[in-house]
Each structure stands twice: as C-alpha cells, then as structure tokens.
Amino acid sequence: MSNHRDTRAPRGRPSTPAVFSAPSEQIPNQVGLALSHLAHLIDGALDIRGGPVDARSFAARSLGAGREEIVVDVRSLSPLDAVLVGIRLAALMEEHGVVGVMGGDGEPTPMWLSLDTDDGSERYPAEIYVSFAAGTLSTEPVVLGIERDWNSQSLVGFSVSANGARVREIVNTVAAEAGELSNPFRMRTVLADLENNRLRMRVTSNLDGDRSDVVLPDRVWSDLDRHVVSVFRSQARLAAAGLSTNRGVLLHGPPGVGKSAAVRALAASLVGEASIILCQSDVVMRRIDSLYGELGRLAPALVIIDDFDRIAPRGGEQMRDFLIAMDGVASRHQGVVTLATANNISQLDPAVRRAARFDAEIEVPLPDRAARGAILERYLRDIESVVDVPAIARATEGATGADLRDLVTEAVLVAADAPISTELLRTLARERIITVPRGVYL
C-alpha cells in the first residue's frame, strides 16, 4: 500500500505556508507576536482570495454560510473503520460527484491510499474534506471529512446549525454503510505497525516458506499443529462444545535455530484459513489494545509477535498493557491465536507465563547431529559439492541452523567456481565455531 498525497487536480491555494525563517532569538518577543499576527491576517486574506485554509472555512464556503454558523459532527473511527469509511466515501464521491475537495491541515490536496484487494488495488481517501452539492447526499449541500491526528482518526460532517440533525444522520449512515462493506483485511496477511501513534494496518504479500525447508524435531511441528493449526481447523467443534478457541503459543529457543523461519512456514500454510497479522514491536509496545480491539472482525486470526522477549522484558511497563489486551481477547473474541517467539523466556515477565496467557510453550532446541546433517543437505542441495555431510555434522556441534546456512554461504564465496569440499567446510567450521562463543543469547 502506498502512502502519498494525490497530485491530481489540486484545489485551493498552493500549500506554501507563510514561514518566517529568521532565528527567533533575533526577533524581540513583541515583534514576533506582531509578525505572527500579520501572518494570520495574510492567511485570512489568502483565504478570501484563493481558497480555504482550514476545514471550517472550507465548509463555510461550500455551504454558503459564515464560518461562525458552522457546526461539526465528529465520529471517531477505529483504524479498520477509517479504511472502510474511506472506501465508502470514495464510492459516494464517484456516485454523486463533488463540488469541492480539500486535504487535511489546510493542505489543498487530500491524501489517498491504496489497498491491495483480491481483484487489484483500490484507492480510498485517508485525509480529506469533500463537499457534496445540494440534492445529492441530501437536499442541502453537505461537507464530509476524514480527519487524522497523532492518535486517532474520525469521520466529520459539517453543517449550518439548522441542519445539524440531518448531517448527524448522514454521518451515521455513511459509517453504517461502511461497516457493511466486506473487511479488506480479513483472511489476508496484514502488517500492523504505527504511523505516528495510530495503529496502521496494511495488506502485505503472503509469507512464503515451506515446512520441508525448516529442519525441526517432529515434536516441534506436531506441537505447532496442535496448538495453532488445529485450533483453526477445529474451531467449530470447540465452539460448539463451549470451549475456548483462543490460544497463546510461545515458541522459544536460542537465536538462529529457525523459530522465525518456522513461523513463516506455518503462516504460509494457513493462508486462506486465517487472517495473518504480523505485529510490529511498536504496536505491541504502544497500541496493543487497538490491535486486539480489531481482532473480532479479523478472526479467525493468527497474531505473530516476533522476538517477544525484546519487546516485553521482565517488569516492563508495556507488559501490563499486553497482558490486559490478551486477557481481553479471551472474553471478547473467538478464534484468535497469538504466536510469539522468544530467544530467552527467562527474560520474559513471569506474569506472562504464569496466568495461562500462553497455553503452550514450545521449545526449539539447537539442532542435534542428525538435524545438522539434514540442514547441511538442505543448503548444499543445489550446489555442486563433494561433502561428507555426517562428518561436517559431527564437526559442528553447537551450531544453529543459521550458522550452518552461513557456513555454506561462506564456502560458496571462498570456493569460487570449485565444488564445495569436505575439507573447506571443515576448515571454515573450525574458524567459525571457535570464534563464535556459544551460549551467549543476544
């Protein structure tokens, strides 16, 4: 999804603001005030000559009324609602045509975003004011807007006070119609991050990866199947029996053993069965409540939190909000599986593990000799090589999957055009394994 201002058909005055760039310490206070006052006057004059400066002036002009006669109806929107309302508003603009458009913050051009959908991509306004002519949305002219600030977004409607009730009705209708649109994030892979302090959700490409490429003990896969995949596949039966269909799963083990790779492969296998939510660390830290608030409309959903121990260390302030949000899941939603990975669970706040927030802890161990052999085979598969794999597996005690992948990578770089040999791998392994201290979890 791109995030840019629409460059088509700018309306209103150009967006060059009146800026006095002289350093403020050179301007005596009184003079500064006078300049600021002057700037406002100039702004006001431009408003009259050129176009609107703020939403209220834009509305006043569109409604043919004085600025002071305008009343505003505001309805706050969740991040998902903001997208749906944007889509609905775009449809209304298309259907009725508009007599005027303005962006937020006095910008002449609105901000449009685009959303990847099953059949292409859809554009919708994220920050806009639109005026509809009399006899289109209503018998009176109407101004609607989508506003955003640091924390939140809202749908606004402007009217002269006599029409306040009618505009409130229109705002409510637009919100209701938006609520009936099909949720563009459901069953998709969604990246959840923050924009300013607002939760932002974007459809992203599905994760790739195949289980057969990640060499893990059978027990790890069967535990993941039981605690993640089966929860989705058995959801109806669980629900019918009055059992919870929410789960928390903690996948832990040393860095580099393939936890993230396993999660990717697992998520790839669930495409079409659940919404996959990739939760960035800033969301967990600051807006986890907003995210979990949306899950009801995304379920069945797999929420993936990578490197959870870095985000939520022992006694951290964010931990409390996270726990409250997770507890809320149990009572408010069905079909939400939270899958978190951690390098070191002893770093996690004990409260996370104690109160059954995570129903299952699955440990991914360092690969044993057989697993190291299988991982080496996997990475040597498409490379010309003459390698005694069991010998190298024996010589790489303590290495992780990531180490073995790097070992093969390095061998390819060193060998140039020659086939990879046992001796080369052995030499490189000796260098690496001696120089990389084991048991140091980063």
Ligand X SMILES: Nc1ncnc2c1ncn2[C@@H]1O[C@H](COP(=O)(O)OP(=O)(O)O)[C@@H](O)[C@H]1O
Q: Which residues bind ligand X (CB under 6 A)?
A: 214-216, 255-261, 341, 367, 375, 378, 400-402, 405
- By Cβ distance, which residue is nearest to ligand X? 401
What DSSP designation does 196 have?
A: T
Minimum CB separation of residue 378 from ligand X in Å reads: 6
Query: Residue 427 and residue 442: Cα distance in Å, rounded?
Result: 26
Please report whether residue 343 would count as binding Mg ion according to CB under 5 A.
no
Shortest separation between residue 325's beta carbon and ligand X, angstroms: 24
CB 193 within 8 A of CB 280: yes
In this structure, what token pair is assigned to residue 175?
């919100």
- Does position 400 interact with Mg ion (CB under 5 A)? The reply is no
Residue 313 partner contact from Mg ion, ligand X, none using kind-dependent CB cut-offs of 5 to 8 Å: none
333 binds, among Mg ion, ligand X, none (CB under 5 to 8 A by kind): none
Compare residues 73 and 306 and give the one whose CB is closer to ligand X.
Answer: 306
Task: Tell the smallest beta-carbon distance from residue 264 to ligand X (Å).
Answer: 8
With CB under 5 to 8 Å by kind, the binding choice for 215 among ligand X, Mg ion, none is ligand X
Q: Which of 109, 163, 246, 260 binds Mg ion (CB under 5 A)?
A: 260
Torsion of CA 340, 341, 343, 345, to 10 degrees: 30
Place of tokens 């006899």: 135
Q: Which is nearer to Mg ion, 229 or 257 (CB)?
A: 257
Q: Identity (one letter) of the amino acid at 177?
A: E
Q: What is the Cβ-side half-sphere exposure of residue 165, based on CA atoms within 13 angstroms?
A: 1
Number of H helices, E strands in the chain: 17, 16
The CA distances from residue 311 to 204, 319, 330, 341, in Å, are: 23, 9, 22, 11
Residue whose structure tokens are 């899950």: 295
Task: For residues 267 and 249, give the distance between their C-alpha atoms in angstroms, rounded to a whole number.
Answer: 14
258 binds, among Mg ion, ligand X, none (CB under 5 to 8 A by kind): ligand X
Kindly tell me which of 154 and 260 has the beta carbon lying closer to Mg ion: 260
Task: Choose between 277 and 375: whose C-beta lies nearer to ligand X.
Answer: 375
- Residue 214 touches which of Mg ion, ligand X, none (Cβ within 5-8 Å per kind): ligand X
Binding region for Mg ion (CB under 5 A) out of 104-112, 254-262, 286-294, 352-360: 254-262
**Segment lying near Mg ion (by CB under 5 A), choices 124-132, 168-176, 187-195, 251-259:** 251-259
The nearest distance, CB 407 to ligand X, in angstroms, is 11
Report the partner that residue 248 touches, choosing among Mg ion, ligand X, none (CB closer than 5 to 8 A by kind): none
**What is the distance between the alpha carbons of residues 340 and 209, in angstroms, rounded to a whole number?**
18
**Neighbour-count burial for 151-172, b at 16+ CB within 10 Å, e otherwise:** ebbbbbbbbbeebeebbeebbe
Residue closer to Mg ion (CB basis): 169 or 307 = 307
Nearer to ligand X by Cβ, of 145 and 401: the residue is 401
Fill in the per-residue mask, 24 to 53: x = in contact with Mg ion (CB under 5 A), - = not in contact: ------------------------------
The DSSP output letter for 69 is G
Torsion of CA 304, 308, 314, 316, to 10 degrees: -70
Pick one of ligand X, Mg ion, none as the site partner of residue 179 (Cβ within 5 to 8 A by kind). none
154 touching Mg ion, by CB under 5 A: no
| Least distance (Å) between residue 411 CB and ligand X | 15
Task: Report what 426 binds from ligand X, Mg ion, none; CB cut-off 5-8 Å by kind.
Answer: none
Residue count at the site for Mg ion (CB under 5 A)? 2
Residue 363 burial (C-beta neighbours within 10 Å; 0-12, 13-18, 19+):
middle
Contacting range for Mg ion; rule: CB under 5 A; set: 30-38, 253-261, 374-382, 414-422: 253-261
Q: Which two tokens stand for residue 302?
A: 């797999």
Give the shortest CB-265-to-ligand X separation in angstroms: 10
Per CB under 5 A, contacts with Mg ion among 87-146 are none
> How far is the CA of 266 from the CAs of 214, 270, 274, in angstroms?
10, 7, 11
**CA-to-CA separations, 262 to 188, 201, 259, in angstroms, rounded:** 19, 23, 5
User: Are 396 and 434 within 8 A, CB to CB?
Assistant: no
Q: Which residues bind Mg ion (CB under 5 A)?
A: 259-260
